[in-house]
Amino acid sequence: MVLLLETTSCEIFARAQELRPAEVEVPALMSQEPAYETTDFAFRDMPQLAEPLWTNYALTEALFWGRDNQSASQPLVVAVGSNTPLISAQDLQFPVAAGVRAFYGERNPNECGWEIGYFGVYGMSASKFASTTPPQFMQMPDPIGTSLTTDGQSATVKYNSMINSGEANVFRTSNYWRDHTESWLTVDWLAGFRYVGVEEQASINMVCCNGTRTVPYSVRTRNNMFGGQIGSRARWTWDRWALEGWAKAGVLGNAQKQIQDPLIDDTGFQQRGALSATGTDLGFIGDINLSAIYRLTDVWGIRVGYNTVWIDGLALAPNQLAFANTTTAGTGLNSGDGIFLSGANLGLEARW
């Protein structure tokens, strides 16, 4: 009798594998769960493939990110006589800047896939203005400041920055059916290559001599970071809604350069010529996102979310301003600093 029952059960299971779920006559003792739109079913009527069975995806988003300036707090403009700082590097805090992000990828719903991505944040600009009334004056910090001018009446310090990041990843996909919520949880474990470029400029423009002359000091930096990254991405999908989040971390080598413009004093004499320096450092990037998606159609959805990005091991432009009056001033490279970005993303995605 036992052998007969086991044989009958195997025949019923084999017949269910060949038919669509709606066509299978489910025995009374088996679970009466609803049928799913897929041709392969595993144990207890659980679908083997995630729905929807998309294999291509793309997204494009506008970014609105703020930035915390992690540059050193050295004085950039001081009062003549007392050396009281009037403007320091930490005063240059960035407002929200705009950028874009885009991804394209292909995947097998049950196995692995690949993707390429890019984000850029442009037009990050901070400035600080200070002025004095004679007989009080201002200058750049000593010892070079006294040689440039001692009767500055106003100064504007500007700090501009631009960030570009590209990545290429491969990933392994795992799908989990959440029966109690009738939803899918998809997890991707990824590894890949990451590039980050950070270009900056910092400048001091001091107006002196009763407003007749300007004493400038400008420096630029370039950071080109290359390396590997690992991370994970999870997507929880139900009805027309989805929540998606990722966390990535990369260790990057950084090829750096700083370029100093000539220093010209208030008489027109060149106190210091153009200088530059190069170097390398080990950097890091951490990239976290959480987004909510509403599916407009079977293909298109709208995305909105929040991001944090930390980039470390950088040569920031304000940290290269050198006020020593020696032959080696301006020939060094100050590195090891970081920037922290955070803000919103808003855009569209397509999955087909």
Tens-place pLDDT, residues 127-161: 999 999 999 999 999 999 999 999 999 999 999 99
Mean pLDDT of 321-333: 92
Residue in this structure with the two tokens 């979310």, named with its chain if needed: 305
Q: What is the overall mean pLDDT for the chain?
A: 87
Pair 329, 180 in one domain: yes
Q: Count the Cβ atoms, other than its own, within 10 Å of residue 43.
A: 7
Contact indicator for 105, 93 with CB cutoff of 8 Å = no
pLDDT above 60 for 51: no
The H-assigned helical ranges of the chain are 2-18, 144-148
Helix/strand/coil percentages in the chain, nearest 5: 10, 60, 30
CA 175 to chain CA centroid, Å, is 27
Total structural domains within the chain: 2
> CA 92 to CA 88: how far, in whole Å?
8
Pair 234, 119 in one domain: yes
Which residues are bridge partners to 286 per DSSP? 249, 310
Pair 38, 151 in one domain: no
| pTM for this prediction | 0.83
> CA 322 to CA 248: how far, in whole Å?
36
User: What's at 80, amino acid-wise?
Assistant: V
CA 57 to chain CA centroid, Å, is 20
Which residues are bridge partners to 205 per DSSP? 156, 216
Domain that holds residue 21: 1-48
The CATH number assigned to the domain holding 328 equals 2.40.128.100
Per cent of the chain over pLDDT 90 is 73
Sign of the alpha-carbon torsion through 49, 53, 55, 56: negative
Contact indicator for 294, 302 with CB cutoff of 8 Å = yes
Residue in this structure with the two tokens 């080990």, named with its chain if needed: 282
Pair 25, 75 in one domain: no
Pair 283, 254 in one domain: yes
The predicted-structure confidence for 255-305, as pLDDT tens digits, reads as follows 999 999 999 999 999 999 999 999 999 999 999 999 999 999 989 999 999
Q: How confident is the model at residue 52 (pLDDT cuts 50, 70, 90)?
A: low
pLDDT above 80 for 242: yes
Pair 23, 144 in one domain: no
Pair 184, 327 in one domain: yes
- Find the farthest-apart pair of alpha carbons in the chain and give their distance in angstroms, rounded: 111
pLDDT above 50 for 13: no
pLDDT above 90 for 202: yes
Pair 99, 218 in one domain: yes
Pair 17, 75 in one domain: no
Pair 104, 16 in one domain: no
User: What's at 318, amino acid-wise?
Assistant: P
For residue 6, the model assigns a pLDDT of: 41
pLDDT above 70 for 200: yes
Strand 138-139 with 75-79, pairing: antiparallel
Q: Count the Cβ atoms, other than its own, within 10 Å of residue 333.
A: 17
Pair 186, 158 in one domain: yes
Pair 80, 97 in one domain: yes
The predicted-structure confidence for 62-89, as pLDDT tens digits, reads as follows 999 999 877 788 999 999 999 999 999 9
Query: On the CB side of 348, how many CA atoms lie within 13 Å of its CA?
Result: 5
Strand 241-260 with 85-88, pairing: unpaired
Q: How confident is the model at residue 307 (pLDDT cuts 50, 70, 90)?
A: very high
